[in-house]
Structures are given as structure tokens and as C-alpha cells.
Chains A and B, each alone.
Chain A
């Protein structure tokens, strides 16, 4: 029994290594989205007028609203880590739940936005879109691919934070050991940063 307790105290733990691992993973995400941003920049350069005309059809209000929602969810995520550091477990759990809720609201908005576009006959391969210039086809192709991939990341983020909330409730994440929550937080903030760039590049082309 004494031996077991002794062993439990010396479980190998390397918080800095864990966070560095997460950062290295985030760099691979940068490669993934970076490639798409390269594609976007070249096509926008080649089809400036088409991108301008096509971007006017996106709803700036929903885009701005979703930006504010995602930024606020990043705030609640950062606060939840501070809360657990200070030993306020319940506050941390509530803040994590609010983060998840904001993530879901973001996706619901995204769903309605996509559905409106699809009802207007704008989706990859639709007759309306194929009839337009190749620049507009590229714009909407990139729009669906990039916001879609970003949406997938939001879903993954929500699942990760939900697991962390469960861990916090079960006492796996404690005020002494919260590196898992930090890892999920880093991922969530990266998703936020990607949106920070997607928003002006798709919604605000003048």
C-alpha cells in the first residue's frame, strides 16, 4: 500500500513537453490551412473581379456575428483554465460548458448560412454556379472547402472540450494537473485564429 502511494506520487509527467507536442501538432494544422490560403491567394489574384462579385453574396452580418461568437468562446476557454488554476472547479466547468455552447451556436449559424446559399442554387456543381465565370466557381469552391474544414475543426474542438469537461467533473483534471485542459484550449484558440483570417478574406472583399 505504501509502495503504491509512493509510485503514484512519481508518475512521470512533463507538462512543458505536452504543450510543446500540442504546438507541433498545431504547426501541421498551419500547413493544412496554409496550403488552402495559398490556393485562395493565387486564385483571388487571377480572378479579382469575380471574387469581388461573388463575395458580395455572403452575409456580412452573420460572418461578423460568428466572429464575435468564436472570439467570446476563446475568452471563456482561457478563463476556464484560470479558474481551474485557482481551484474554482465549478466555475471552470461552467466556463467550459459556455465555450461548448458558443461552438454549437457558431455551427448552427454556419448551417443556416450554407442552407441559404444552397437554396439560392449556389453549391459546388449546381447549374447556377456552373453558368457563372470560373472565378466565381473557384470562390464558392474555396468558400465551401475552407469554411467546411474549419467547421469540422469546430466540431472536433467541441468534442475535445466535452471530454475535458467530463475529466474535470471526474477529477482527472485538477487544480494541480490541468495540462489536458490547456491542450484542448490551444486547439480551440488555433481554430479561432484560422477564422480571424477566413472572415475578412471571404466576407469583406470590397
Chain B
């Protein structure tokens, strides 16, 4: 218990939050810049990858997921898997219908 407590004390320093915040701002700038250049079909993929990286940073650092019990991370991964499965099934259907 004490070990856990000291780990939390150590992990919650101001510096890491400011670093993550800077990274988030840089990624926002990047996504706006990339959107200005036309990559065709890759554009939306790039935007979604950058948004996912930003969300990962917010989830793990700001929302303390890396400090929580493993169960929390399992919960989040399961929830995200279901979102991905739903999207895959949805588009497996729609891309077929349109063509």
C-alpha cells in the first residue's frame, strides 16, 4: 500500500502534465497543417491516427489510466474493441451496398 502511494506521489508531478499538454498542442497543429495538404484518401486516416494518439495521451496521463489497477485498462480496451468491431461490421455492410 505504501509503495503504491509513493508511486502515485512520484507519478503525479506537474512536469509530465505540462509535457503532455505541449504534445497535445503540437499534434493539434500537425493535424491542421496536414489537413491543408491534400493526401487524398490518406487524409482522413491521418486525422484519425493523430486524434487517437491525442486520446491515448489524455487517457493514460490526464485520466491516470497508467496508475490505475489493471482492471481499468482491460475495461477500456474491451470497450474500444467493441467500438472497432461495430465500425468494421457497419462498413463491411455499407461498402458492399454502395458498390
| A interface, CB within 8 angstroms of B | 16, 19-20, 23-24, 27, 30, 34, 38, 41-42, 45-46, 60, 64, 67-68, 71-72, 74-75, 77-79, 81-82, 85, 182, 185-186, 189-190, 192-193, 196-197, 199-201, 204-206
Contact = CB atoms under 8 A, between A and B. Distances in A.
Contacts of B79: 27, 30
B39 to A, nearest CB: 8
A168 B62 CA distance: 20
Interface residues of B, number: 46
A81 B58 contact: no
Interface string B49-86: 01100110011011110001101100110010001001
Instruction: Output the residue of A182, A185, A204 with the most chain B CB within 10 A.
Output: A204
Nearest to B50: A200
A79 B86 contact: no
A26 B91 CA distance: 25
Interface of B: 8-9, 12-14, 17-18, 20-21, 24-25, 28, 31-32, 35-36, 38, 43-44, 47-48, 50-51, 54-55, 58-59, 61-64, 68-69, 71-72, 75-76, 79, 83, 86-87, 90-91, 94-95, 98
B62 A74 contact: yes
